Structure 1
Amino acid sequence: MSQNPLMEVELYAFTSASGEFLLTPHEFDVDLDGNLYTSLSIERNELALGAEAAKSALDLKLPPDGDLVRHLLATSLTGETTAITLRIARRDTWGDYWWLSGTRWMGRVLGVEIADDVARVRCESAQVSLKRIGLRRLYSRKCSHVLYSSACGASPITASAFVSNSSGRNVELDGGVPGSVSGGVAGGWLQTPEGARHMIVSDYGSGVELLYPVAIEPGTEVQLTVGCDHSTETCASRFGNLDNYGGFPAIPSKNPFSTGVF
């Protein structure tokens, strides 16, 4: 930044229907008109200069064990949108009063990935979203609804279990995966008492494999939520929710432009 970091700071506001997070990447918290922006280690990519800055994609790196990352992982499973605003605040030269000098970037969170002890958050500019033509929903054979979202309408199927051991991405459960959800948790998630959700890749009888490594203390009670492979068979047999199925399984497999109509 060109200005003295003690006189000018960046402020990030992450807002969704279920939560709000006010953060600043600097070494001190910032109190702005009664709103406290908490200090957190955040790295971002370089944005374009001038009018092009607002159209640039924003990529952030932050610690993987924070409340914001857990919130973004949870909303990615439910389809909830998180808006993000990057503002600049300046301090008066004669006192300790902060004031907003402008908005640098606005958009929404596209997704979050965790790897190498860092969380990477991908964000899309609001200008790009507004200029996109057409509907966002995919036309596909399999259902495009986010599981348990309002569009899906299925009721969550859950079961509780106690952790006996965790190593890397594998979490062993006391007594194995409960029978009521055994064989169906792939694509679902494991939730800890603190509310953190970890996506389940597969189950192997005695435990589950998660999408990324996690450390959970033995004896911790966790909740397992059943997943979905977005097929008509699973929608009907597991959830009884075929009326809300969002896919188009009857799409013709033959392309009339390459094979002819008849």
Structure 2
Amino acid sequence: MNEGPLSEVELYAFEGASGRFHLTPHEFDVEIGGQRYERCPLERSALALGAEAAKSALELRLPPDHALVRHLLQATLTGEATTVRLRVAQRADWDDAWWLSGTRWMGRVLGVEVADDSARIRCESAQVSLKRIGLRRLYSRACSHVLYSAACGATPISATAEVIRSEGRQVELASLPPEVAGMLAGGWLQTPAGARHMIVSESTEGVELLYPVGLAPQTLVDLVAGCDHSVSTCAARFNNLDNYGGFPFIPTKNPFSTGVF
């Protein structure tokens, strides 16, 4: 018996830490191995052919009110990465079962743009992502650790204060707790709801925030000490010099340009 022609469908899998979406651009749902790919009016850009096919970018368009669009917009706020895999499934004319025949493209979502009539999802190939220079730590005299992070390891210094009034970026306090007095620049003010607002400077009357915040009188807030990432502050304020992440003793003269000294 001669085999009949095969029909082919495209399957899209979007996977992130907080959500997964399995879609197909066809007018019917496709189920393979217990996984259902829901139909969606999804359009894609043309893929390059030849040796550069795996490196080509992918652009998708779908309705702006789709759940995937809402998920990707939320992911941009949290920094969550979403991978994309475009697979191909086939079936014979005499059989209703679909089977995966290969992967046509794989990568990750770069961003999403929403318009009145459609949403555009820009995707980058996995090969391009792997060849991109990743995050790296640079040498500097100042410490590069994020304050109170796992790499920093410092014990937070905090105290509670009562708000008298707030006007713009200025927050007047009933009194400045002595535990954090003189240490608040670069720290933050935390509200009872858990919101953190960076402190730019302090005075005897209160603190100045990075941006305006409305706080009701008699609100109790937490004041957390900051750090200027210097050796002296790390040692005197936090007694944390063992975890200092800077290189304060880098020579000021370059021997390759000034000669031996």
Q: TM-score band, normalised by the shorter chain?
A: 0.5 to 0.7
Number of residue equivalences: 169
Which stretches in structure 1 are left out of the alignment for 5+ residues? 1-11, 23-47, 55-67, 73-80, 88-101, 109-124
Shift of 1:106: 3.2
Contact 1:147-1:227 at 8 Å conserved across structures: yes
Structure 1 pair 224–131 and aligned structure 2 pair: CA distance change class (3 A): farther
TM-score, normalization: structure 1? Answer: 0.55
Which stretches in structure 2 are left out of the alignment for 5+ residues? 1-13, 21-44, 48-55, 60-73, 85-104, 112-123
Partner of 1:83: 80
Name the SS for the 1:243 alignment partner: helix
Structure 1 pair 248–222 and aligned structure 2 pair: CA distance change class (3 A): same
User: In 1, distance between residues paired with 2:221 and 2:80?
Assistant: 29
User: In 1, distance between residues paired with 2:205 and 2:199?
Assistant: 14
Q: CA RMSD in A?
A: 3.6
Shift of 1:212: 1.0
Contact 2:107-2:125 at 8 Å conserved across structures: no
Contact 1:172-1:208 at 8 Å conserved across structures: yes
Contact 1:142-1:231 at 8 Å conserved across structures: yes
Partner of 1:219: 218
* Paired letter, 1:164: I
2:57 to 33, 36, 52: 52
Partner of 1:142: 142
Contact 2:184-2:226 at 8 Å conserved across structures: yes
Q: How does 1:78-157 map to 2 (within 5 A)?
A: 82-85=79-82, 105-106=108-109, 130-133=130-133, 136-157=136-157
* Paired letter, 2:174: D
Q: Confirm or deny that 1:163 pairs with 2:168.
A: no
Q: Confirm or deny that 1:201 pairs with 2:183.
A: no
Structure 1 pair 164–232 and aligned structure 2 pair: CA distance change class (3 A): same
Shift of 1:137: 1.4
Shift of 1:84: 3.8
User: In 2, distance between residues paired with 1:249 and 1:200?
Assistant: 26
TM-score, normalization: structure 2? Answer: 0.55
Name the SS for the 2:57 alignment partner: helix
User: In 2, distance between residues paired with 1:134 and 1:82?
Assistant: 15
* Paired letter, 1:170: Q
Contact 2:58-2:125 at 8 Å conserved across structures: no
Contact 1:159-1:224 at 8 Å conserved across structures: yes
User: In 2, distance between residues paired with 1:206 and 1:240?
Assistant: 28
Shift of 1:235: 0.4
Name the SS for the 2:199 alignment partner: strand
Structure 1 pair 183–258 and aligned structure 2 pair: CA distance change class (3 A): same
Structure 1 pair 126–188 and aligned structure 2 pair: CA distance change class (3 A): farther
User: In 2, distance between residues paired with 1:257 and 1:218?
Assistant: 60
User: In 1, distance between residues paired with 2:139 and 2:198?
Assistant: 25
Q: Confirm or deny that 1:229 pairs with 2:207.
A: no
* Paired letter, 1:160: T
- Structure ID, larger Rg: 2
Partner of 1:184: 183
Contact 2:16-2:83 at 8 Å conserved across structures: no
* Paired letter, 2:82: T
Contact 1:86-1:104 at 8 Å conserved across structures: yes
User: In 2, distance between residues paired with 1:232 and 1:165?
Assistant: 36
User: In 2, distance between residues paired with 1:233 and 1:169?
Assistant: 29
* Paired letter, 1:254: K
Partner of 2:98: none
